[in-house]
Structures are given as structure tokens and as C-alpha cells.
Amino acid sequence: MRLFRTGMLLAALTAIFMLAGFLIGGQGGMIIALLIAAATNFFAYWNADKVVLRMYKAREVTAAESPALHAIVSQLAANAGLPMPKVYIIDNPQPNAFATGRNPQNAAVAATTGLLNTLNQEEVAGVMAHELAHVKNRDTLTMTLTATVAGAISMLANMGLWFGAFGGGNRNNPLGIVGVLLMAFLAPMAAMLVQMAISRTREYEADRIGAEICGRPLWLASALEKMQVSASRIDNVTAERNPASASLFIINPLHAQKVDSLFSTHPNTANRITKLREMAAGMGQKQTRNPWR
């Protein structure tokens, strides 16, 4: 069901992209939009991880440079049956993290300096387990492709608005300037709704599987609680400038309204914490000492 839902959401994005092209340029515009979507997806498949890491000025660190973080990720990767991913650190005071890569063999996890300075080792382990769950589920590829196509739809709609306003319209457009204006406003919104829906469903699943990987749901629950408080006060300037990448982070970096709706890229943090605590109670667990400490 999860794979079917994701496939439907990705298909919806492609349909929105083609519809935007059709309303802007008729049948020819739809064909061009389809070609652009295909090229965008091809580029994103091979290069999106590098683009995102470069965007956030992430620095790869070795085991010698960051022994504690490497040891945590290494043990968790072994628990999950995954290859050891590359480990990156982002110089940013907001406590946050994300995973990227087209498959487990080419994966990377990135943590901000704010996360490493705010959380203890067991909480860091909970966060890294969540990110490895995304790798295990191949969420990183799906969400990166979705974010890329959503961004391309916004670009196409903006181009259509400019052309309609300054280019005199397009005779191939079935609705004329009305169609251009309609898609300029509605296409990016529709694409964002689909992108957000994918992100929200994936986060709940990654929380559950991440808790299983580290064996302690309360570690992640505690981390989310601390991160939400800090993230609501500390800006992530790069994310604000590139909002399409926000869905990759474990906590929404954009100070979005804290509601469980399609207008939030992430589920409500309190709901996530509640689910994790219920999971821990079902396992008969209470907060315990970290084995890495």
C-alpha cells in the first residue's frame, strides 16, 4: 500500500507538470513539459544528493575527525543490514539532520553542528537511526525526485506567468492569459501538496523503523522534543532560501505552522513523539543508559 500510494503521488506530480505545459503552450507545451520532467528526473537520480550536500556546504568527515558520530552510524548501519554510508557535518546552529543518495550503496547522512551540540549520544543515535530508515526504505530517492519535480513545476509556472504578462500570451494556450495565470498560481500549490503528502507519510514510517534499528524508541522521542524547541527558535537560512529541500530534514527547518495537515511538510512533532512513546511502552521500555556512552 505504501509503494502504491507513493507511485500515485509521483504520477500526480508528472500529470500536474504536463497539465501546466498544456495550459501554457497547448499540446506542444505538454510535450516539452514531459521532456523537461524526464530530463529533470534523470539529472536528479544521478546528481541530486551532491547538489543538496553542496547547497548546505556539508563537509564529509572521517572516523578520525568525528569518532563518536562515525561509531554510532557504523553500529546502526550494521543493525539495519546496510552498507556504511558517508557521514557529513553541516555548520549550522539549528539541530537537524537528513539522509540522501539514490540507493543504500550510495547513501550519505548529514548532521548539523547544532544537532551534535544539543543532543546527547543516545539522542543522536535515535536521529541517525531515523535517517538510516529512510535509506533502508529508499525514501531518499523518492523524496529527492519529488522535490526536484515540484521545483521544476514552480519554475515552469513562473515562466508561463512571465510569458503571459510580457510576451503577449500564446495562441496555443487553450485558455489564453487566463490559463497562464491559473497555472502560475495553482500548479506550484498542487505540486507542493503532493510533495508534502509524500514527506509526511514517510516520516512516520522512518520513525517506526528507526526505533527498531536502534532498539530504543524513547531516544528518538527525546531527540525530536529537543529539536522541535530549538528549530522553532533558530533559523536555517539555506533551507529558507530553498524550501523544496525542507522535506528531507527530520524536523521541518522552515518554522512551519505546527499542524498535521497537507500544508506542513512534516507530521506534527507531538504526534510523532506520542507514537514513539506508545511503541516503547509496548516493548516494556523506559529510558536507559546509552551503551555508546
C-alpha to C-alpha distance for 67 and 87, rounded to whole angstroms: 11
C-alpha to C-alpha distance for 113 and 137, rounded to whole angstroms: 26
Is 203 flagged in the annotation as binding? yes
Q: Compute the Cα dihedral for 26, 27, 32, 36 and give only its sign.
A: positive
C-alpha to C-alpha distance for 88 and 30, rounded to whole angstroms: 40
Contacts of residues 20-23 at CB distance under 8 Å and 24 or more positions apart, as own/partner, are 20/153, 20/156, 20/157, 20/160, 20/183, 20/187, 21/156, 22/174, 23/160, 23/173, 23/174, 23/175, 23/179, 23/180, 23/182, 23/183
In angstroms and rounded to an integer, the radius of gyration of the C-alpha atoms of the chain is 20
Do residues 267 and 256 touch, judged by C-beta distance below 8 A?
no
Do residues 267 and 130 touch, judged by C-beta distance below 8 A?
no
* DSSP category for residue 245: G
Do residues 90 and 58 touch, judged by C-beta distance below 8 A?
yes
Catalytic residues: 131
Is 130 flagged in the annotation as binding? yes
Do residues 265 and 252 touch, judged by C-beta distance below 8 A?
yes
Q: Which residues are annotated as a binding site for Zn(2+)?
A: 130, 134, 203
Q: Which residues are annotated as a binding site?
A: 130, 134, 203
